Amino acid sequence: MAIRALVWGENVHERRNRVVAQVYPHGMHQTIADALNTDSAIRAETATLDQPGHGITPQRLAQTDVLLWWGHAAHGDVSDAVTDMVCNAVWSGMGAIFLHSAHFSKPFKRLMGAPCNLTWREAGERERLWLTTRNHPIAAGLPDHFELENEEMYGEPFGVPEPLETVFVSWFQGGEVFRSGLTWRRGAGNVFYFRPGHETYPTYHDATVQTVLRNAVKWAHNPAPRLADPGAAPNVPVAKAPEPITERGPRLHHDGAPGLR
């Protein structure tokens, strides 16, 4: 069965900025979904901020194997309820891919537990992305490096937790470098951050970038059943201990009582 991907986009710049509308007349989210759908192993749909509930419900997330998230101008408009749903789905086993300025999105910052800050410059400069792990699934079919003629610069230090893997490192024409492809495991979910994607440049029309996104969806997909309650912290009674024990000393909770949080 095809991997079910959901591409979430703010769809704000595309409606308010003439340059962005010309580059992405159907929205960045649709351009990304169209690129994913060229692979028969992936079935991609879209959701946007302006839809009821931001286009996200528990039922829709239950039917999503991998969520791709692009945000920039309206991070604060994303509801806490939707943020909770997305994070719980990731902890349960849904894959998540955060793109470009989604490093400041509510779901990403919560999953990282960090400021996720960086340096930046908008000058349309050349970006050269180098593979740091040739045999990584996200890098399948890619050359040792590829270039984007016009991109926004992101520079180190990048305020995120130490990743499991660094797949790409970027060099920019102005001299800065940045870890542009990073992976983490959060609960049962695989998380990938991919840096390129400034809205005024045609980055998501680039064939190599599209290959990275298709590879990333396949890597992030966890075929195992979702965890029913990723935050469960059950009270194990003395009688159900794996080895026989005798209770010694006072306690706060009776058998089966929930803990304090």
Quick one: residue 7, left, alpha or beta (phi over 0 = left, psi -120 to 50 = alpha)?
beta
Looking up tokens 């239950």 gives 62
* Residue 66 pLDDT grade (very low, low, confident, very high; cuts 50, 70, 90): very high
Alpha helices in the chain (DSSP H): 13-16, 18-23, 28-36, 58-62, 80-92, 106-112, 207-220
Main-chain phi, psi angles of 237, to 5 degrees: -65, 155
Looking up tokens 């130490």 gives 162
Least confident segment among 22-26, 59-63, 205-209, 254-258: 254-258
> Cβ distance 83 to 53 under 8 Å?
no
For residue 249, pLDDT over 90 is answered with no
Q: From CA 141, how far away is CA 211, in angstroms rounded? A: 8
CATH superfamily of 3-117+181-220: Class I glutamine amidotransferase (GATase) domain (3.40.50.880)
Average of per-residue pLDDT values in the chain: 96
The pLDDT tens digits of the residues spanning 121-166 come to 999 999 999 999 989 999 999 999 999 999 999 999 999 999 999 9
Q: Where are the domains of the chain?
A: 3-117+181-220
Q: From CA 247, how far away is CA 85, in angstroms rounded? A: 39
The pLDDT tens digits of the residues spanning 210-244 come to 999 999 999 999 999 999 999 999 999 999 999 99
* Residue 194 pLDDT grade (very low, low, confident, very high; cuts 50, 70, 90): very high
Our measurement of the distance from residue 216's CA atom to the centroid of its chain's CA atoms, rounded to an integer in Å, reads 10
pLDDT in the model for residue 180: 98
The pLDDT tens digits of the residues spanning 87-133 come to 999 999 999 999 999 999 999 999 999 999 999 999 999 999 999 99
pLDDT in the model for residue 97: 99
